Structure 1
Amino acid sequence: MARALGVEVKSATLRPRISGQIQRSDSSQSGYRIRVNRHEAPTRQRFTIAHEIAHFLLHRDYIGDGIEDSILYRSTLSDKREAEANRLAAELLMPKDSVIQALRVRGGRATPRIAVEIAQDFNVSEAAMSIRLGLG
């Protein structure tokens, strides 16, 4: 998706507790670059990239010289904008209709065990899927 938007994505060693950042870049088609912390789990990196794409789509006018997002999803933006980016990132990686279908296939009831299974299907963390299913 980032590639389709012309946003460059780079794996990088970021400061401790920083999961990712988006900033202006002269080298990408759109003029933006996402850097994701290479030391975090791949599922976490996927969510971070989706979160930064959400900032690009929703909050481009607020990015300025850059937005850094910590492990706790905090950034220099307001909590409202962070929540918006988290919601869109979840929808990008775990579309509601697809999650409902995956849940139906497994009996229709969300449990921690089912969350683990569906998380693997969507290549997201168990924590992200638990939140998406309303368990956490």
Structure 2
Amino acid sequence: MKSMRDIMRYLPDNGEIRQLFRNFNISPIIEGKARSVKEFAERLGFEVDQVDLPKGMTGRLVKDAFARAGYRIEVNRNHSVEARRFAVLHEIGHFFRHADHEDPFAFDMHFDASGNWLYFDEDRIKEREANEFAETLLFGDGALQAAYSLHFGNIERVRRHFGVSDNVLRIALKRFNIR
């Protein structure tokens, strides 16, 4: 998944939702600051809450009958702003790629007996797909290349342009073959 066209395949045939995604990708900054992912998520119908989550967990998608989308996104308040921003987009990816919108009793996450997160092979694939969804939304269709050129390859300025961590940016540069 490297283009907005790939993302559009997972979205409903709703012009308003598709336009929100397109606008988010086209203009990642507003008034010199990275676009608000919280506002983006809320416009899609999610509630976004900062909560205490288990160590190592940045965010999760939780069923919520009162949220317009039927889900809320929880992000770990103890993580950096950049990590929380990416987590919101990652969880939106889970919603559009993996959430069971039909079964109200479907499990949201798997736990092992000790309370630690247990990922099965299928879950690892889903995590990778949600990351790719978030990366494509942020950096796809030339957005990363344009920002990289605009900032003359200055990694710190490109990172601030998108409001992401150094690690997320380095992975994206490699994935989108920039440099």
Q: TM-score, normalised by structure 1?
A: 0.80
Q: Does residue 1:91 correspond to 2:136, yes or no?
A: yes
Secondary structure of 1:33's partner?
Answer: strand
Structure ranking higher in strand proportion: 1
Q: Does residue 1:26 correspond to 2:65, yes or no?
A: yes
Tell me how far apart the structure 1 counterparts of residues 168 and 73 of structure 2 sit (CA, whole Å): 20
Asked if structure 2 preserves the Cα contact closer than 8 Å seen for 1:52 and 1:85, the reply is yes
Aligned residue runs from structure 1 range 106-121, under 5 A: 106-107=151-152, 114-121=154-161
- Percent identity between matched residues is 29
Return the structure number with greater relative CO, CA threshold 8 A, min gap 6: 2
Query: Aligned pair in 2 of structure 1 residues 96, 116: CA closer, same or farther (>3 Å)?
Result: farther
Tell me how far apart the structure 2 counterparts of residues 100 and 8 of structure 1 sit (CA, whole Å): 32
Tell me how far apart the structure 1 counterparts of residues 145 and 83 of structure 2 sit (CA, whole Å): 22
Partner of 2:82 in structure 1? Answer: 43
Partner of 2:9 in structure 1? Answer: none
CA RMSD of aligned residues (A): 2.4
Partner of 2:108 in structure 1? Answer: 66
Deviations 1:4-59 (A, max 9, x none): 22111111011111111112111201210111000100000000110000000110
* Among 34, 38, 41, the residue aligned to 1:2: 41
Partner of 1:71 in structure 2? Answer: none
Structure 1 stretches of 5 or more lacking a match?
69-73
Asked if structure 1 preserves the Cα contact closer than 8 Å seen for 2:83 and 2:164, the reply is yes
Shift of 1:116: 2.2
57-66 or 79-88: bigger deviation = 57-66
Name which one, 1 or 2, has greater alpha-carbon Rg.
2
Q: TM-score, normalised by structure 2?
A: 0.62
Detail structure 1 runs of 4+ shifted over 6 Å in the superposition.
none
Letter in 1 for 2:160: Q
Structure 2 stretches of 5 or more lacking a match?
1-39, 111-117
Tell me how far apart the structure 2 counterparts of residues 131 and 87 of structure 1 sit (CA, whole Å): 10
Number of aligned residue pairs: 125
Letter in 2 for 1:92: L
